[in-house]
Structure 1
Amino acid sequence: MSTVGELRAAGYQHQPLRTEMRENLLAKLRAGEDPWPGLHGLEDTVIPQIERALIAGHDIVLLGERGQGKTRLLRTMVGLLDEWTPVISGSELGEHPYEPVTHASQAAAAMYGDDLRVSWKHRDERYAEKLATPDTSVADLIGDVDPMKVAEGRSLGDPETIHFGLVPRSHRGIVAINELPDLAERIQVAMLNVMEERDVQIRGYVLRLPLDVLVVASANPEDYTNRGRIITPLKDRFGAEIRTHYPLELDAEMAVIRQEAHLVAEVPEHLLEILARFTRNLRASSSVDQRSGVSARFAIAGAETVAAAALHRATRQGEDQAVARVVDLETAVDVLGGKIEFESGEEGRESEVLTHLLRTAVAETVRQRLRGLDLALLVDAIEAGAMVTTGEQVPAREFLAGLPVLGESELYTDIGDRLDATSDGELAGAIELALEGLYLARKIGKDTDGSETVYG
């Protein structure tokens, strides 16, 4: 269908944006389809609030600390738009052929009638995102007079001299503003008419454009005092203010890491669990500034770092398979400290705090994964003088070859079975976890010298 006449003949019905999103959301819910793929840990808290807000047709502001999935939530709303929608060909604001709103489109509709040309826009093109910065101007968001058009001979009173900003260009779509408090207050004032009266004001022009746009925004609650604030009249115009949060359950935390981390080597499940527990311990620590939060990106970057350490070792030592082990966790701590904001009284103790909380996470994982497994034979062998050497450059086969012989015991196999180890690298990682657990339980000793670690 390439003309308005063909659209009408086909019985095409136009729906306002909010109606379109409401109907598509309800259709997904009826069909049992997840409208929010890739979002974990928010199913029973944040997402129902967002769904109710969209059904009500409200503009939304999400409040939460960094790394809580606010931007992903906003971008996922695109999936509630129709996949394709008709627009007037060449129209600046992507207007619907049945409802032209600019002077130029209205003139074209009057001239061509049912022969008005129609193009089709994909839903991805109906989402616009702006990171609010202090230098953002009214022209960026709303628009301004275009001096080039004036120079072409148009008069200043001609509406066609206006260059529209991001919000009008998002007509019939979603406009997302990240870190809204960073917008200067005078810029926020310019949004008031857009969100209530749905018109725009540009240098004295009052254009009664019936903008059909959903405004969504994100903000860190601390920004109200640190860098800026959302002015009260603008807050009042958002129909829904929704607080986000970090995953409440360990499984959801691990699911986020699996989904978001780009791993260059195999990272076993028990290491992902350690990183997830490590992150959650940091969020509960009084040594960490909880106002800035501990982002999910911390654990994601940690998983990517241990995977890189495994690939580095496999490449240098000629291993067939790169598998991350407990020894690689230290490499993550070395580079992730800068992602955490510590309380002022902890200056100089940052490494100590990180190391302690990582060891706590390892101990918790050992208790969970190896509960009920009798490691007494391994402890006895080490107490009898056996030593086990590992390190970030010790290959898995060399580590396994250096393990003490336990007679006919199947202990090493049992440890591997508990952690689903099927290769030398995975088995080495599983036994290394058991050794670290014994060390943390003070049943064996450990000495680290440079890149080499000896349990004995």
Structure 2
Amino acid sequence: MPQPRTLGALRESGRYPPRPVKTELRENLLAALRAGSNPWQGIVGFDRTVLPALERALLAGHDVVLLGERGQGKTRLLRTLSVLLDEWTPVIAGAELGEHPMAPITPGSLRRAAELGEELPVEWVHRSQRYTEKLATPDTSVGDLVGDVDPVKVAEGRSLGDPETIHFGLVPRAHRGIVGINELPDLAERIQVALLNVMEERDIQVRGYTLRLPLDVLLVATANPEDYTNRGRIITPLKDRFGAEIRTHYPLTVAAEAEVVRQEAELGAELGEPLIEVLARYVRLLRESGAVDQRSGVSARFAVAAAETVAAAALRRATLIGEPIPVARPVDLEAVPEVLRGKVEFETGEQGRELEHLRHLLRRAFAETAREWLGGIDMNPLVESIVDGRVVTTGERVPAREILHALPELPVCHDIVERLTEPGAEREPARIAAAIEFALESLYLARRLAKDADESETVYGP
């Protein structure tokens, strides 16, 4: 944290002059682009689409609205904007708004600056504190966003005409920072009107007061297309004041979808790359399905929750049978459709068939992933060993060693394990069993093996 603690010391340092927040964002973004660094850490799949559009908007100094379906990372993107602010910035100590010591704007700060001069106290604010977020709910008031008369200050003896009786709302308190409003169309239209002056004239109006405060904020918002056109809407004058409207989207590739899962999921067990890819393909198939209401969308949070559910099933299974390392196996995927059916909206005519659709698409995702991972391996020896009369039983009460003992030593099994496990990972029985079970399930889906499943066990046989 920088050291100057008074206005005089700040002037002597010759650093941190007053700078509009949009200029600060522009200059820091340009510096990052020149240095080849990535300011958008944690943002996946937007490199060639959303991020270039957002960078152009910031360089132009525009307020921005992000338009997209649920679970597309809009809020995460807004919260990342704060990394483009200076790490530390000086403010007037004790001021209600984050005013620069060299540029006070409120009556109280102007009075203090005149009284104290170069001894005006300075404190430092980290950039993480300069991002303010509000979820737009129907009960949000003008006072919440802009401000209202503070009855406590009036009771202290100040007159109603004194502008210092105003309690500032969220937007003025974000002075010299970023204001994010989530789900802007859910904000009542009369409340949206209160933002018009803030965005264009940069002043605020509270009841009978008109304060000419040169507010310095970047206003960013999110909206869902359904809300944008039906349940709620952004009023035309406010929409006109946003300089940029940027469309977001779901990850465009399986690799990007899988990267989101790896980044966001908090896993209680080891989840191999093949199973993560199954879940990534599963979400993509749901987004393409005619049975699913695509106006509602299938959030990226579905894949994350699915991965956490599979890991939880593996952890429970490993605990029940006493395995030291919990490793997810294909049998753990069975928990996903039942647990997560409420996260997907289906078309009106599909009532009662939701689980059927979810299980069918999960099988398709598994088969497509298996072809990618096991292509080129001759599986005939494995099939023949089972056709000769062997069966392999798996389930939540079946230890990994039982699965391995059910099969003879086959070179193809080593090839499967080599293909499906992480390079350098120890060949623990749990990891080997997960790979073998993956291959058996792929052979069942290819109709080369039979499978008999009930609530407790799954048996692969001829």
Partner residue in 2 for 1:37: 41
Q: Distance in 2 between matches of 1:229 and 1:424?
A: 56
Q: What is the CA-CA distance between 1:262 and the residue it aligns to?
A: 0.3
Partner residue in 2 for 1:204: 208
Q: Distance in 2 between matches of 1:382 and 1:77?
A: 57
Q: What is the CA-CA distance between 1:384 and the residue it aligns to?
A: 2.2
The equivalent position to 1:131 in structure 2, one of 129, 135, 148, is 135
The equivalent position to 1:337 in structure 2, one of 341, 348, 369, is 341
Partner residue in 1 for 2:312: 308
| 1:33-61 CA-partner distances (Å, limit 9, x unpaired) | 10100111100000000000001110000
Partner residue in 2 for 1:9: 12
Contact 2:390-2:406 within 8 A present in 1 as well: no
Partner residue in 2 for 1:174: 178
| 1:125-146 CA-partner distances (Å, limit 9, x unpaired) | 1111000100000000000001
Partner residue in 2 for 1:444: 449
What SS is found at the alignment partner of 1:335?
helix
What SS is found at the alignment partner of 2:124?
strand
Matched to 1:78, the amino acid is S
What SS is found at the alignment partner of 2:194?
helix
| Structure 1 residue 416 corresponds to structure 2 residue 417 | yes
Q: Distance in 1 between matches of 2:325 and 2:259?
A: 24
What SS is found at the alignment partner of 1:62?
strand
Q: Distance in 2 between matches of 1:293 and 1:107?
A: 53
Q: What is the CA-CA distance between 1:9 and the residue it aligns to?
A: 1.0
| 1:202-232 CA-partner distances (Å, limit 9, x unpaired) | 0021000000000000010110244211111
Q: What is the CA-CA distance between 1:195 and the residue it aligns to?
A: 0.5
Contact 2:330-2:438 within 8 A present in 1 as well: yes
Moved over 3 A (4+): none
Structure 2 gap ranges (5+): none
Q: Distance in 2 between matches of 1:232 and 1:424?
A: 63
Task: Count how many residue pairs are aligned between Structure 1 and Structure 2.
Answer: 453
Q: Distance in 2 between matches of 1:212 and 1:49?
A: 23
Partner residue in 1 for 2:150: 146
Bigger drift between 221-230 and 174-183 goes to 221-230
Q: What is the CA-CA distance between 1:381 and the residue it aligns to?
A: 2.1
Q: What is the CA-CA distance between 1:383 and the residue it aligns to?
A: 1.9
Q: Distance in 1 between matches of 2:391 and 2:382?
A: 11
What SS is found at the alignment partner of 2:102?
coil
What SS is found at the alignment partner of 2:375?
coil
Q: What is the CA-CA distance between 1:10 and the residue it aligns to?
A: 1.1
| 1:127-168 CA-partner distances (Å, limit 9, x unpaired) | 110001000000000000011111111111100110000000
Partner residue in 1 for 2:111: 107
Q: What is the CA-CA distance between 1:95 and the residue it aligns to?
A: 0.3
Bigger drift between 235-244 and 5-14 goes to 5-14
Partner residue in 2 for 1:24: 28
1:222-261 to structure 2, matched below 5 A, reads 222-261=226-265
Q: Distance in 1 between matches of 2:146 and 2:225?
A: 26
| 1:330-364 CA-partner distances (Å, limit 9, x unpaired) | 11221011100001111111001001100000000
Q: What is the CA-CA distance between 1:392 and the residue it aligns to?
A: 2.3
Partner residue in 1 for 2:277: 273
Q: What is the CA-CA distance between 1:94 and the residue it aligns to?
A: 1.1
Q: What is the CA-CA distance between 1:380 and the residue it aligns to?
A: 1.5
Contact 2:382-2:413 within 8 A present in 1 as well: no
Bigger drift between 386-395 and 248-257 goes to 386-395
Q: What is the CA-CA distance between 1:64 and the residue it aligns to?
A: 0.4
Matched to 2:222, the amino acid is S
Matched to 2:416, the amino acid is I
Q: Distance in 2 between matches of 1:226 and 1:442?
A: 47
Q: Distance in 2 between matches of 1:23 and 1:175?
A: 19
| 1:36-95 CA-partner distances (Å, limit 9, x unpaired) | 001111000000000000011100000000110000000000000001000011100010
Matched to 1:63, the amino acid is L
Matched to 2:276, the amino acid is L
What is the TM-score with the length of structure 1 in the denominator? 0.98
Q: Distance in 1 between matches of 2:290 and 2:366?
A: 20
Partner residue in 2 for 1:390: 394
Q: Distance in 2 between matches of 1:417 and 1:288?
A: 37
Matched to 1:210, the amino acid is P
Q: Distance in 2 between matches of 1:449 and 1:168?
A: 61
| Structure 1 residue 165 corresponds to structure 2 residue 166 | no
Identity among equivalent pairs (%): 68
What SS is found at the alignment partner of 2:205?
strand
Partner residue in 2 for 1:453: 458
Matched to 2:449, the amino acid is I
Q: What is the CA-CA distance between 1:197 and the residue it aligns to?
A: 0.3
Q: What is the CA-CA distance between 1:385 and the residue it aligns to?
A: 2.0
Q: What is the CA-CA distance between 1:420 and the residue it aligns to?
A: 2.1
Q: What is the CA-CA distance between 1:387 and the residue it aligns to?
A: 0.9
Q: Distance in 2 between matches of 1:204 and 1:183?
A: 23
Q: Distance in 2 between matches of 1:302 and 1:424?
A: 24
| Structure 1 residue 349 corresponds to structure 2 residue 353 | yes
- Cα root mean square deviation, aligned: 0.9
| Structure 1 residue 117 corresponds to structure 2 residue 102 | no
Q: Distance in 2 between matches of 1:29 and 1:7?
A: 29
What SS is found at the alignment partner of 2:148?
strand
Q: Distance in 2 between matches of 1:431 and 1:118?
A: 65
Partner residue in 2 for 1:73: 77
| Structure 1 residue 94 corresponds to structure 2 residue 98 | yes
Partner residue in 2 for 1:425: 430
Contact 2:291-2:346 within 8 A present in 1 as well: yes
Partner residue in 1 for 2:194: 190
| 1:161-189 CA-partner distances (Å, limit 9, x unpaired) | 10000000000000100000000000000
Matched to 1:91, the amino acid is A
